[in-house]
Amino acid sequence: MGSRPGKRHGYLIILLLIFTLFTTPFASAEPASERQKELETLLYQDCGSCHGMTLRGGLGPSLLPEALARYNLDAITGIILHGVPGTAMPPWSDLLTEDDAAWLADHLLSVKPASP
C-alpha cells in the first residue's frame, strides 16, 4: 500500500457527480429556444413536404390539432420517432431526439399552425 489509487478515484467520482448535477436539468427539458426554431422550420419544410405547407394534408394526412385529437402526446411522439411502417411516413429518430419529437407532438396538438 505505497501510493493510494483510491484517493484519485474519489476526485473522479466527485467530478462526475458535479457534471451530472449540472447536466441533468437540461437532459429532459424541452429543447432550447434555438432548437425550437429549427424544429418549427423542419415541421413546415420537411414534414410539410408531405403533410402540406400549412399541415392541412397532402400526401400525408392533416396534422392539424383536430385531426390528431384521437392520439395522445406519446402516440404522436412515437409516430414521429418511428414512422408508420409500410407507408411513406419515415422514422425521424436519426434526426430528432425524443425531446425534439415530444416538443413537435405537443406543438402539433396545441399550436395553431400558420394560416394559408
From the list 2-10, 16-24, 29-37, 79-87, the region that binds ligand HEC by CB under 6 A is 79-87
User: Interface with ligand HEC includes 51 (CB under 6 A)?
Assistant: yes
Give the alpha-carbon dihedral of 81, 91, 41, 22, to 10 degrees. Answer: 40
CA–CA distance, 110 with 63 (Å, rounded to integer): 11
CB of 86 to ligand HEC, least distance (A): 8
| Contact set for ligand HEC, span 84-103 (CB under 6 A) | 84, 87-90, 92
> In the numeric block, which cell numbers belong to residue 103?
416538443
User: Interface with ligand HEC includes 63 (CB under 6 A)?
Assistant: yes
Which residue among 64, 78, 80, 102 contacts ligand HEC (CB under 6 A)? 80
